[in-house]
Amino acid sequence: MKIIFILLISIFISCGNQGKIPPKAVNGVLDLRDWDFEKDGVINLDGEWEFYWETFPEGDNLNLPETIKSFIFVPKDWNGNRVSYKNNKGVIEEKEIEGEGYATYKINLILKENSQFLEMLFPIEFNSYEVYVNNVRIHKIGELGKNKEQSIPKWSRKYTILDKDQLSNNIQIKILISNFDHTLGGLVNPIVLGSVTKIGALQSSSLAIDLFICGILFIMGMYHLALFNLRNEDKSTLYFGLICLLLAFRTTLTGEAFYYDLFPEATYALSLKFEYLTYYIVVPLFYKFLEYLFKSEFNDLVSKIVYFISFILILIVILLPPIFFSKTLLFIQIFTVTNIFIIFKFLISAILHKRDGAGFVIIGFFIFVLTIINDILHNNFIINTGLYTPAGLVFFIFAQSYLLSARFSKAFQDAKDARKLAEEQRQLVVQSKEEIERLGRAKDEFLANLSHEIKTPLVTIYGYSELIAMDGEIPETTKEYGSEIYKSAGKLNSYMDDVLLVTDLETNLELKKEDFELRDLVEEMVQNLDSMASEKNIVWNSDQALGKITCDRVLFSRALGNIMKNAIVYNQNGGNVTIRSSKKSGIFIIEIQDDGIGISEAYHQKIFEKFFRVDSSLSYEVSGVGLGLFLSKRIIDLHGGSIKVNSSLGKGSTFEILCSWL
């Protein structure tokens, strides 16, 4: 990218007119004796020309009346100059002239001895004119006339070689101009003189630059319109594409103006309309483009005013003839400068608000404006740096398209991210759905378990209480029945306690912490579970070093009790249950180890979930609803600790409670 810019800039620098400051005409004489056309290059015939208002030369020698001679600066329109003229009564007077009218320009060139072939470049002027060199007509554009009916303007840029006969040391050039179609009259653009090779080089380099810029703009325009076609919700590409195409078209009409070579029959009015319209439409379009990019920075009222003024100007150009619409030129120039300031203001606020790409636009815009200022100063001989507006325009267009590309790739990246996010969310939804289904299944299982678990003790209670009711006397068996009823009611009570505790823990109940000996608690639990343990001939082992702990005794005994109870019920007959405690780097560890059926690794996490029960023949025989370990974990979590299991099928399990609060 950088290399392209350096190349472009060096191409344009090499096209600039550098070196010796060219002399200017004084009192209608341009002394070029010191000017070497081969070494010093081409020269603009600028300066004071003789000027004869409302006069065309007469006679074979094309005489001009000395009495009405004035001097006028070229290149510049004649409007507003004070010149001599002959009034209706034949009296010479002075007056300030307007754009419309006719006149003769004259200049004497003093050349070096033995000058070789020279070539002149006559730029496009807004009028019709004829050129005489040493009283021989060499050039005619349009039809001269002394009034609107006779004068027919034409757009043309001509290169004319002055042959040996015309090249004396003293060359007299007379240019007869009539203008009734444009607000500006006179020689507005510079006439260039140079050696045939230098003028040829100038012509081909400026044509090359024009074609190069036109090509770049055209391709950029088509490319952005194609982008808009593919993704039409982003209008910035549409505006930008249109700006590029309009500027591409404008390049064909200005500079080397190869449009007129392609269409020599193009009429003056239409050509001028095209030239004005390409400018007048680009101004609001460019404003629209930036407004679209930085919407929040632009002011609606200002935008409306800009569009309204532009609309009126465009209408004037379309509907009115050149003599009228060309009067808007000064206005559009002021309007453009005002727009530049407005846009600068909005862009600066875009930068302050850190809007994407604002820096890029303002740099491109700033450099473009700088090149325009440079060219104005250069053309007015204030500095001698060369012409850079084309380079500025290309740089600016590149900066804009870079910004659009950056926006595009960001949009592309955003779309990619959005797709990724959507995919993640989809997966989350799938997971949540699976989780909901799993919880649903767990709830169903829980209900089935609970009903089954409640049903068995209920049947027992129902049966034994019926027997008690039927017996007249109270026999020995009644005590037995009573004890069965008591056991079953106890089971029911414990299930209900578990279910109630789940709800309590869910609402984060308050812990009632106290200090106590872990050994006391373990002994108490062993006693509580003694009858259950002796049924299976379980051997208890416990570590004597069990220390002091601080926690909610009631809840912690539930947590420990559930694990100890599982160590009995999921154990084999005559199995061992060992309870140990230790301290490692400030962390208290309690281990409950059994040598029972063990748990497959796939369930090491799941057994702590609500209602989960391992699907095995033994689990099925053992009564339970899958709440024991869930409650234990929840209680330990609430105390700031953690619980995990080390186990493998058939080899027993070790539950490990880790906590720093003990």
User: Minimal distance in Å, beta carbon 572 to ligand ADP?
Assistant: 11
Residue 364 within binding range of ligand ADP, rule CB under 6 A: no
Query: First CA to last CA across the chain, in angstroms?
Result: 68
Q: Which residues of 136-167 are buried (b: 16+ CB within 10 A; e: fewer)?
A: eebbbbbebbeeeeebbbbbbbeebebeeebb
Nearer to ligand ADP, 382 or 539 (CB): 539
Question: Using an 8 Å Cβ cutoff, are 167 and 118 in contact?
Answer: yes
Nearer to ligand ADP, 401 or 566 (CB): 566
User: Minimal distance in Å, beta carbon 606 to ligand ADP?
Assistant: 8
Q: How crowded is residue 170: how many other Cβ atoms within 10 Å of its Cβ?
A: 11
User: Minimal distance in Å, beta carbon 455 to ligand ADP?
Assistant: 16
Indicate which single residue of 551, 607, 643, 657 sits in contact with ligand ADP (rule: CB under 6 A). Answer: 607
Residue 44 within binding range of ligand ADP, rule CB under 6 A: no
The stretch near ligand ADP (CB under 6 A) out of 3-11, 456-464, 552-560, 626-634 is 626-634
Of 553-582, binders to ligand ADP (CB under 6 A) are 562, 566-567, 570
Indicate which single residue of 298, 540, 556, 630 sits in contact with ligand ADP (rule: CB under 6 A). Answer: 630
User: Minimal distance in Å, beta carbon 531 to ligand ADP?
Assistant: 18
Indicate which single residue of 131, 599, 643, 657 sits in contact with ligand ADP (rule: CB under 6 A). Answer: 599
Of 229-258, binders to ligand ADP (CB under 6 A) are none
The stretch near ligand ADP (CB under 6 A) out of 202-210, 348-356, 388-396, 617-625 is 617-625
Residue 221 within binding range of ligand ADP, rule CB under 6 A: no
Closest CA to 643 of 624, 629, 653, 661: 629
Number of shown-chain residues binding ligand ADP (CB under 6 A): 22
Nearer to ligand ADP, 286 or 570 (CB): 570
Q: Between 638 and 657, how does the x/- string for binding to ligand ADP read (CB under 6 A)?
A: ---------------x----
User: Minimal distance in Å, beta carbon 566 to ligand ADP?
Assistant: 3
User: 542: helix, coil or strand?
Assistant: strand
Residue 306 within binding range of ligand ADP, rule CB under 6 A: no
> What six digits make up the tokens of 557?
């005994």
Of 485-544, binders to ligand ADP (CB under 6 A) are none
Nearer to ligand ADP, 141 or 538 (CB): 538
Q: Which residues make beta-bridge pairs with 173?
A: 107, 133
Residue 629 within binding range of ligand ADP, rule CB under 6 A: yes
User: Minimal distance in Å, beta carbon 468 to ligand ADP?
Assistant: 30
Indicate which single residue of 250, 613, 634, 639 sits in contact with ligand ADP (rule: CB under 6 A). Answer: 613
Indicate which single residue of 185, 390, 628, 641 sits in contact with ligand ADP (rule: CB under 6 A). Answer: 628
User: 353: helix, coil or strand?
Assistant: coil
User: Minimal distance in Å, beta carbon 507 to ligand ADP?
Assistant: 20
User: Minimal distance in Å, beta carbon 660 to ligand ADP?
Assistant: 25
Nearer to ligand ADP, 86 or 644 (CB): 644
Residue 624 within binding range of ligand ADP, rule CB under 6 A: yes
Residue 75: asked if its preceding bond is cis (omega within 30°), the reply is yes
Given the structure tokens 């020599």, which residue do they identify?
Answer: 264
Q: Which residues of 19-38 are buried (b: 16+ CB within 10 A; e: fewer)?
A: eeebebbeebbbebeebebe
User: Minimal distance in Å, beta carbon 454 to ligand ADP?
Assistant: 14
- Integer Cα distance of 330 and 89 in angstroms: 36
Residues with Cβ within 8 Å of 330's Cβ and at least 6 positions away in sequence, in order, are: none
Question: Using an 8 Å Cβ cutoff, are 5 and 82 in contact?
Answer: no
Question: Using an 8 Å Cβ cutoff, are 177 and 105 in contact?
Answer: yes
User: 513: helix, coil or strand?
Assistant: strand
Strands (E), 88-244: 92-96, 101-110, 118-122, 128-133, 136-141, 158-162, 170-179, 192-195
Indicate which single residue of 103, 272, 404, 597 sits in contact with ligand ADP (rule: CB under 6 A). Answer: 597
Q: How crowded is residue 233: how many other Cβ atoms within 10 Å of its Cβ?
A: 6
Altogether, the residues listed in the chain come to a count of 662
The stretch near ligand ADP (CB under 6 A) out of 3-11, 232-240, 399-407, 620-628 is 620-628
The stretch near ligand ADP (CB under 6 A) out of 207-215, 219-227, 387-395, 621-629 is 621-629
Phi, psi of 510 (to 5 degrees): -85, 135
Residue 595 within binding range of ligand ADP, rule CB under 6 A: no
SS (H, E, C) 360-425: HHHHHHHHHHHHHHHHHHHHCCCCCCCCCHHHHHHHHHHHHHHHHHHHHHHHHHHHHHHHHHHHHH
Residue 596 within binding range of ligand ADP, rule CB under 6 A: yes
Positions in the binding site for ligand ADP (CB under 6 A): 562, 566-567, 570, 594, 596-599, 607, 612-614, 619, 624-630, 653
